[in-house]
Amino acid sequence: MADPTKTTSRATENRSTTPSSDAFKDYIGSNWADRVDVVPPAREQAAYAAARRQRLSALYPNATIVIPAGSPKVRSNDTDYPFRAHSGFAHLTGWGSDTVPGSVLVLLPTAQGHDATLYFREAAGRDSDEFYANSDIGEFWTGPRPGLASVAADLGLATASIHELAGVLESLATDSVLLREVDAELTSTIDTRRIATSRADENGDFAFVANGNPFEERDIELARDLSELRLVKDSYEIHEMRLAVDATKLGFDDVVADLPAIIAHPRGERLVEGTFNRRARAEGNTVGYDTIAASGPHACILHWVRNDGPVVPGDLILLDAGIELESYYTADITRTLPVSGTFTEVQRRVYEAVLEAADAAFAIVRPGIRFREIHQAAMAVIAKKTAEWGLLPVTAEESTKPENQFHRRYMVHGTSHHLGIDVHDCAQARRDLYLDGVLEAGMVFTIEPGLYFQPDDLSVPEEFRGIGVRIEDDILVTESGAENLSIGTPRTADDVEAWLARG
């Protein structure tokens, strides 16, 4: 890992004009008010994060568990992308957008389970030059950092200086697991230590490491287990999901209200993106993923994020967007809107077919069914409709057989994915717990069927070409069935047209 005591900046020396004289250092280091480390009450999420750590502890009873937050990633030269802590770290600590970059959570095994300690770079004193001379982490450059006591109280978690982490890693045993994809330097340091310890344990026998890293497989299992811990949301997470969905609706409302200006601009898709992202920054942390503002034939491109086209009356615009809160929980909603305010006959026909597929999928959601059944219910409708329109070489029933699947030409993606602290949450969970998993109350996922007729697709009549429709809602499994969290964002064709008229 990077030297935690290092305070030099990445800024090149030939651009630095910071004075270095002793007189300047004495002057800038003096006459500062005493700083009080305010100790807050524990945040609401602290108790939930502690319960999650206990569940993880039970999976690794004798192992040291290392969960890094990660560090800022370079965008270009010495500028970084906005920092976002790893979701597994945030889930286990309760820290979200206020995470100090470079922090590391360590769970040390005890007779009762594990003792958890959060190591981070606390506020620098005025007796160091870090606060003014280091553009990467200095307070003058990036703002003040909290103290150990305030974070300990805030998160209900023992804290220590990042400077103490090296000593912990020096004593690391082979029975340890690491969230390895987050911090390359930390991973290299821990791997080196574990291999050295293993060799000592084996009395100098190095042969067992000849075929690769013997610890990587168990680290991969840790990443898997962290994903699976999030399959069923606790009450705090469900509350955050509701807030994220509500905020996202405001962003959609903003886009509808801005449609005249959006239509008038030659790159109206960019205005859609900007309007929604403005709301995301106002109501939350940022967007949960790159906003898809796909107008006209761009709606047939599933992950269209260039967003550089016009928004033309007569076309549809597909808006797939979600707001991520300060806690990192995000919504993921898609609506397809007629730019002129009303659907044409063909657009409405396609739209209502997709809505029927979404409603059919939602109707079967309840505890006890398998996740894959949701997709099957939606695809049965997609097959039926495309067969009715004469687009398939066989009947709908024939098309749904595994060896055929002709209707999938017009919807190649899946119908659902888990949602939460990641937009594609729990993605490293095992297949038998995800796609083949049984639904439980507290699970949150999307239902998002679509139909996409590429503008050059000769298998469909010309009137269909260039039409892309997706309807995506965020679904909570309840004890008796399901709740559509995003039902408040208009979704029927009539309600969408009324929404646009009001806008």
pLDDT at 210 over 50: no
Contact 454, 300 (CB under 8 A): yes
Question: From 3.10.530.10, 3.40.50.2300, 3.40.350.10, 3.30.750.24, which CATH number describes the 13-228 domain?
Answer: 3.40.350.10
- What residue spans of 158-258 are helical by DSSP H? 165-170, 184-201, 216-228, 235-257
Residue ranges, CATH 3.90.230.10, the chain? 235-502
Measure Cα distances from 24 to 27, 128, 133 in Å. Answer: 5, 13, 12
> In the structure encoding, which two tokens stand for residue 201, read together?
């344990």
* 47: CB partners within 8 A, 6+ apart: 156
Residue 12 has what pLDDT?
Answer: 57
Which residues are CB-neighbours of 492 under 8 A, at least 6 positions away?
A: 355
Work out the number of other CB atoms within 10 angstroms of the CB of residue 209: 15
Strands 176-178 and 64-68 come out as parallel
Quick: pLDDT tens for 270-304: 999 999 999 999 999 999 999 999 999 999 999 99
CATH 3.40.350.10 spans which residues of the chain? 13-228
Pair of tokens at residue 244: 């994220």
Q: CA 239 to CA 235: how far, in whole Å?
A: 6
pLDDT in tens, 362-419: 999 999 999 999 999 999 999 999 999 999 999 999 999 999 999 999 999 999 999 9
- Give percent above pLDDT 90 in the chain: 84
What does the buried/exposed string (b/e) look like for 190-208 if buried means 16 or more CB atoms within 10 Å of the residue's CB? bbebbbebbeeeeeeeeee
Whether the CB-CB separation of 155 and 49 falls below 8 Å is answered with yes
Which is higher by pLDDT, 129 or 13? 129
What pLDDT, on a 0 to 100 scale, did the predictor assign at position 4? 46
Residue 183: closest CA among 57, 63, 64, 72 = 72
pLDDT in tens, 338-358: 999 999 999 999 999 999 999
Task: Write down the pLDDT at residue 171.
Answer: 87
% residues pLDDT > 70 (the chain): 95
DSSP SS3 for 104: strand
Largest CA distance in the chain: 86
At residue 80, the pLDDT reads 93
Select 235-502's CATH number: 3.40.50.2300, 3.40.50.300, 3.90.230.10, 2.30.30.40. 3.90.230.10
> Tell me, what amino acid is at 340?
S
With tokens 């299992």, the residue in question is 221
